[in-house]
Amino acid sequence: MKKAVDNLVKENCPPGVSLLLRSTLSDSIIFGDAEASPGSPVITDFFPENFPPWRLELYQTGSGESGFFLYKNIFFWTILALLFILFFGSGLIIRTIIHEVNLLNLKSEFIASVSHEFKTPLTSIAGIIERFLDDEVKDPDKAREYYRILRHDSERLKRLVKNVLDFTKIEEGKREYKLVSTDLPELVRREVENFEKENRSESFEVGIEIDDDIPPVFVDEEAMSLALHNILDNAAKFSGQEKKINVQIVRKENSIKIAVQDRGIGVPDNEQKRIFEKFYRGKQASSVSPTGTGLGLTLVKHIMDAHGGNITVHSQPGEGSCVSLILPIPNGA
């Protein structure tokens, strides 16, 4: 762009004339040489409001017939201004179109993933209920196994609906949090126990290590439980053959860290920031687990921000991931 304008000015600019392009917001020079443009501008023009807030200034740097040439070549300067508008306007339009196309593709993938997420447990629930209605289940042990599957699938559906509803509230700015003093180790133990019950058929081993001096913290218990379950669910989903997950609650100087370590596929460096974007799913993650909404970590990030905390990811592909939820300790705790 700049090279094209330079060539255009050199080839067509009359002698004794210089051009400056300034930002009307900061008055900084975007194009041209201030030292070569003394005095006041002979002509000043502004871009329309729907284009970048710039103004075009023309200076007379010589004497004699330069003023005559300046006004004689006003058509040239008009064309030059139109070229600026064309270049930058086209760039903005193209960038907007690309952004909208990418967003539409992500939303399409999201709808397909959510549909699949709903379809799988609903099909399982419908099949089991049909067996019970046809009186095909005679063995009490088999019946208990089916009841566990029904509970697991119903909890899965409930969390999926909760994730979608919470995401909708966040997008509309209506998600509210009720922070109360909470025994964090007790909340983590309870959520890990629920996770193990729901994934009993997968034989996951979840170890817990808790520091002795963990003070109460102010959290929204429902939101924090959802965040922790989403992290545990991701760890299970991408663990592969390694069915071991370790949870640590560690007190730092001014914060408490809940770290969830798995031994799964890991997250590449170039994806570790993007995994918190809505609808985003990494390439390797999508190949290992085709299902997923791409909302879990987005919700966790928002929950931690609302608590004045943070979420971090440390990972190496093929060696697993450690996702940490960091909460501030109240003053005086």
78 and 190 share one domain: no
Across the strands, what pairs with 219?
Answer: 180
Residue 102 lies in a domain: no
Nearest to 57 by CA among 93, 81, 85: 81
- CATH number of the domain residue 254 falls in: 3.30.565.10
Q: What pLDDT is recorded for position 201?
A: 63
265 and 295 share one domain: yes
pLDDT greater than 70 at residue 21: no
**How many whole angstroms separate alpha carbon 198 and alpha carbon 213?**
30
Residue 298, φ and ψ in degrees, nearest 5: -60, -45
Residue where a domain terminates, one of 149, 172, 195: 172
For residue 153, the enclosing domain spans: 109-172
- Find tokens 């909404």 and name the residue: 293
151 and 25 share one domain: no
**How many whole angstroms separate alpha carbon 279 and alpha carbon 276?**
9
**How many whole angstroms separate alpha carbon 58 and alpha carbon 16?**
10
Residue where a domain terminates, one of 172, 204, 219: 172
pLDDT band at residue 260, thresholds of 50, 70 and 90?
Answer: very high
201 and 307 share one domain: yes
- Find tokens 């002979």 and name the residue: 42
- CATH number of the domain residue 124 falls in: 1.10.287.130
91 and 116 share one domain: no
Q: What pLDDT is recorded for position 187?
A: 93
Helix (H, G, I), strand (E, B) or coil at 312: strand
Residue where a domain terminates, one of 74, 96, 118: 96
298 and 209 share one domain: yes
201 and 290 share one domain: yes
pLDDT greater than 90 at residue 32: no
Beta carbons of 207 and 247 less than 8 angstroms apart: yes
**How many whole angstroms separate alpha carbon 145 and alpha carbon 213?**
40
Q: What pLDDT is recorded for position 258?
A: 93
Nearest to 36 by CA among 2, 64, 60: 60
Task: Report the chain's mean pLDDT, rounded to a whole number.
Answer: 76
pLDDT band at residue 64, thresholds of 50, 70 and 90?
Answer: very low
Chain segment 193-228, per-residue pLDDT in tens: 888 877 776 677 788 999 888 899 999 998 898 899
91 and 124 share one domain: no
Domain total in the chain: 3
Quote the DSSP letter at residue 269: G
Residue 274 lies in a domain: yes
- Find tokens 């041209």 and name the residue: 32
| Listed range (61-65, 268-272, 306-310) with the worst mean pLDDT | 61-65
Exposed e or buried b per residue across 219-243, where buried means at least 16 C-beta atoms within 10 angstroms of its C-beta: bbbebbbbbbbbbbbbbbbbbeeee
195 and 141 share one domain: no
**Average pLDDT, stretch 275-291?**
66
pLDDT cut 70: percent of the chain above it: 65
Tallying the residues shown for the chain, one arrives at 333
Nearest to 321 by CA among 244, 211, 235, 242: 235
Residue 287 lies in a domain: yes
| Listed range (51-65, 83-97, 148-162, 241-255) with the worst mean pLDDT | 51-65
Predicted TM-score (pTM) of the model is 0.58
Could you tell me which residue, 214 or 55, shows the higher pLDDT? 214
46 and 125 share one domain: no
User: Which amino acid appears at position 278 of this protein?
Assistant: K
251 and 127 share one domain: no
Residue 104 lies in a domain: no
233 and 137 share one domain: no
Beta carbons of 272 and 88 less than 8 angstroms apart: no
**How many whole angstroms separate alpha carbon 171 and alpha carbon 14?**
55
Beta carbons of 322 and 313 less than 8 angstroms apart: yes
Alpha helices in the chain (DSSP H): 2-12, 66-72, 74-133, 140-172, 184-198, 221-237, 283-288, 296-306
